[in-house]
């Protein structure tokens, strides 16, 4: 999850210097920042963490090839487990 934290930090730095909205550079910024915080917020176990991640993936508004592949793969894995 630290990769999402670093991505959000980079977007904050980049947008602060250019005085542009962070969501212009990173449209799913809010979801990514929640994903970054999820691993530190949920000490309840792996199943709870997976449910939280799936819920956050459903909140993604702007689809890219990367996040759509993750959504499709995780949906496929959930159907056949």
Nearest to 54, CA basis, from 29, 34, 36, 71? 71
pLDDT for 1-34, tens place per residue?
A: 788 899 899 988 888 877 778 888 888 889 989 9
Which tokens go with 38?
A: 């999820």
pLDDT for 36-50, tens place per residue?
A: 888 666 567 778 888
**Is the predicted pLDDT of residue 79 greater than 60, yes or no?**
no
How many Cα atoms are found within 13 Å in the side-chain-facing hemisphere of 75? 9
Contact, 53 vs 18, CB < 8 A? no
**DSSP run (H or E) holding 13:** helix 2-18
The whole-number pLDDT of residue 21 equals 86
């Amino acid at each position: 999850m630290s990769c999402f934290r670093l991505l959000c930090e980079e977007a904050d730095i980049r947008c602060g210097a250019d005085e542009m909205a962070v969501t212009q550079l990173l449209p799913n910024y809010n979801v990514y920042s929640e994903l970054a915080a999820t691993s530190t917020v949920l000490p309840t176990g792996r199943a709870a963490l997976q449910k939280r991640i799936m819920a956050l993936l459903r909140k993604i508004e702007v689809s890219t090839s990367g996040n759509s592949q993750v959504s499709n793969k995780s949906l496929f894995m959930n159907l056949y487990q």
